Amino acid sequence: ILGFSTPPGRLSMMAFVLNALTCALGLLYFIRRGKQCLDFTVTVHFFHLLGCWIYNSHFPSTLTWWLVHIVCTALMAAIGEYLCMRIELREIPLNSAPKSNV
């Protein structure tokens, strides 16, 4: 079903890309560590590969399936790591106590 030439194929690929973007936001809210984003991304896509393998009763062998998932893995890891690093690199407030007028 994944393919560039048919509208359902393009719609499916767009759904995978949008899923990668929303999962990158999930990495931001659940993982919160830039160094762990790639690990969790590869783990999620590995479990998806296993689920597809079990559901279809054969290993995915089409080139478009692999290309879409490699691109989605890279997008999810890169955007998730970027978002997590932005949160990690925020300035830490040093003086949280209010100033006193003495």
Q: Is residue 25 part of a domain?
A: yes
Give domain status of residue 70, yes or no: yes
Residue 41 is predicted with a pLDDT of 95
Amino acid at 52: C
Residue 81, C-beta contacts closer than 8 angstroms, at least 6 positions apart: 27, 34, 37, 38
3-class SS at 72?
Answer: helix
Side chain identity at 75, as an amino acid letter?
L
State how far the alpha carbon of 17 is from the alpha carbons of 36, 42, 49, 87, in Å: 21, 15, 16, 23
In a domain, 76, yes or no: yes
Q: What is the pTM of this model?
A: 0.81
| DSSP designation for 34 | G
* Domain count along the chain: 1
Report the length, in residues, of the chain: 102
Centroid of chain to Cα 68:
13
Q: Is residue 11 part of a domain?
A: no
Inside any domain, residue 60: yes
23-65 residue pLDDT tens: 999 999 998 888 899 999 999 999 999 999 999 999 999 898 8
CB atoms within 10 A of CB 2: 19
Domain ranges, residue 48: 17-86
At 42 the pLDDT is 96
